[in-house]
Structure 1
Amino acid sequence: MCASVVGVIRVSGLSKRYGDVLAVHDLTFTVPPGRVTGFLGPNGAGKSTTLRMILGLNRPSSGTATINGRPFAHLRAGLRHVGALLDANDVHGGRSAAAHLSALARGNGLPRRRVHEVLAEVRLAGVAGRRLGGFSLGMRQRLGIATALLGDPPVLLFDEPVNGLDPEGVRWVRDLFRRLAAEGRAVLVSSHLMSEVEHTADRLVVIGRGELIAEESVAEFAARGSRAGVSVRTPAAAELAALLTRAGAAVTAEGVDALTVTGLSAPRVGELAHTHGIVLHGLATRTASLEQAFMELTADRADHRAGERR
């Protein structure tokens, strides 16, 4: 498959209010082509509300969400422009996989061959005639991905796409998303599984209580966690600690001969030690996990009230 045009999602000043609840507040971010963007936030952050506004399913209270410069509602044959998986269970149990996709293909002016192509792509060709009521959750997830791919669109959105998949299926989805992005598509993936986002996404959009917390690369976000830094071992720990502190670093002693340094890179620490004749027995960059950084940076943005906004 090959997208006919490069896709981009732009969200600008987007807000959504339900009565007294401000589910999304002045949210602005971009999902560029050629990248997998992870969409993260604690429960109640407003992720699903935002996805629904991008797709025209919910009307914003203010602000805009566009796909290639136009609101989704203004796009004819929508599946040619954007494909989405929001709820794998939102299908008619009495229809077969082939019938479900065929109806969508007809409604969007797509050739019948696309049904067979996407069923093969998601490895459901052998059960094309089976009724969806007998599908497992993992099979429904694959069908939902097939639906998203049906129009060969340049923009793709997926909400919790690996739920119900076995390890082989999870790896398949990971590789699929990377390939779709490599073809020039804009791919937005919302998930609560940090390990999958860490292995799949190039960049992140992180929100909390409907507001933007971060929009940056996975590495940049993880580096903001408190466990990120530089580990140093030296017999002159006190001398080096004083030197690094004067250079603007934050230094924590980890035993007699070990230090954890934040605010300076490992190469800079090594250069300063060498210049001042301090012997190092060990020097390494220590990165925080995405999960640790996420837990720290969203700790005050979680919303645990009943009727959570996702």
Structure 2
Amino acid sequence: MIELTDLTKRYGDKTAVDHLTVTVRSGTVTGFLGPNGSGKSTTLRMILGLNAPTSGTVTIDGRRFIDRPRGLRHVGALLDAQDIHGGRSAVAHLKSLAVSNRIPLRRVGEVLDEVGLAEAGRKRIGGYSLGMKQRLGIAGALLGDPPVLLFDEPLNGLDPEGVRWVREMFQRLAKEGRTVFVSSHLMSEMEHTAERLVVIGRGALIADETLADFSRRGSKAAVLVRAPEAAALAAILTAEGAEVEDAATAAGGLTVLGLTAARIGELAWRNDIMLAELATQNASLEKAFMELTADAVEYAAGEAR
């Protein structure tokens, strides 16, 4: 379990992390989301003692990470897959980590096999692709068989098979009772991977809840309607107080906010309008994220002209 209590980090007059209080629970995959510049990487570095907080505390299972002399036995982390000596082989790199943390050397072969790098283990890391470096970084995080795991953008550079493998691995580790904390900008992957979300913007907490609750809270319920007399139906629904837009996904389609599918069907029936389609759209994590973090985006692109 990771506990952040009133965690704050300032660089001069800029606040990178702002009084963040969060508990990351064991036995679940927790996604860590936020716009670029929101303070995610700074938070992860403070958890690992790489950056000192300006104020507040962060503990892992009740202790600061820097107070653990053999850290990889307690916490495994991948922060930057490129931050590694390219002249070494993967075997040499992992052996150095194992020796310094008193981890049995047999674990080197085990984790290389687990991440699919057994045959490339003696090749120089400088010749690895980004996806291979990501796999090596994951191997390093798993080396000490730790109860707590942190990953910063672990899917960068992975092919679809690699993405699926990482997703299944995270879920397996969580089922084993471990704490799995994953920072990512890929909303679609968090929908398939995480059970809980911690969302921050400008360093401050926006949400700490299940993925399903977050999606529902941030995204209005929408109904897709398709009808031959779409214009007439739109006028009726607008008169009832609904927000109606043309649906880009279907000819003659409308996206309706503010009325249930049952009420739309009733209004169409009363006005002798035939419906070709009537469906409630699923809540979207990406839409919820964009809505709830709209005021916390530090670098926003302008509208196309």
So what's the TM-score if we normalise by structure 1? 0.82
Paired residues in the alignment total 289
**1:82 matched residue in structure 2:** 75
The amino acid that maps onto 1:145 is: I
Structure 2 counterpart of 1:25, from 18, 26, 51? 18
Q: What residue is the counterpart of 2:303 in the other structure?
A: none
Equivalent residue, structure 2, for 1:288 = 283
Would you say 1:121 and 2:114 are equivalent positions? yes
Residue in structure 1 matched with residue 152 of structure 2 by the alignment: 159
Change (3 A) 1:265 1:35: farther
Structure 2 letter corresponding to 1:63: G
- Alpha-carbon separation, structure 1, partners of 2:220 and 2:107: 48
* CA distance in structure 2 between the partners assigned to 1:214 and 1:228 by the alignment: 19
Corresponding position: 1:181 with 2:145: no
Q: Give 1:200's match in structure 2, choosing from 165, 170, 193.
A: 193
Q: Contact conserved, 2:32 with 2:199, CA < 8 A, in 1? A: yes
Cα distance in 2, alignment partners of residues 193 and 86 from structure 1: 16
Check the 8 A contact 1:227/1:286 in 2, yes or no. Answer: no
Stretches of structure 2 that go unaligned for 5 or more consecutive residues are: 227-232, 247-253, 267-274, 301-305
2:213 pairs with 215, 220, 231, which one? Answer: 220
CA distance in 2, matches of 1:37, 1:104: 26
Question: Cα deviation per residue 1:120-174 (whole Å; 9 max; x = unaligned)?
Answer: 0001010111111111111100000000000000110000101111111111111
The equivalent of 1:4 in structure 2 is none
Q: Which residue of 2 aligns with 1:37?
A: 30
Amino acid at match of 1:191: S
Tell me the amino acid that sits aligned with residue 103 of structure 2. Answer: L
Q: Using the TM superposition, give the Cα deviation of residue 296 of structure 1 relative to its aligned residue in structure 2, in angstroms.
A: 1.3
CA drift of 1:292 comes to 1.3
Q: CA RMSD in A?
A: 3.2
Task: Tell me the distance in 2 between the aligned counterparts of 1:149 and 1:203.
Answer: 22
TM-score for the superposition, normalised by structure 2:
0.83
SS across alignment from 1:173? helix
Large movers: runs of 4+ above 2 Å: 224-233, 250-255, 258-262, 281-288
The answer on whether the counterparts of 2:30 and 2:196 sit within 8 Å (CA) in structure 1 is yes
CA distance in 1, matches of 2:205, 2:157: 29
Q: Secondary structure at the match of 1:17?
A: strand
Q: Give identity over the alignment, percent.
A: 66
C-alpha contact (below 8 Å) 1:29/1:215 kept by paired residues: yes
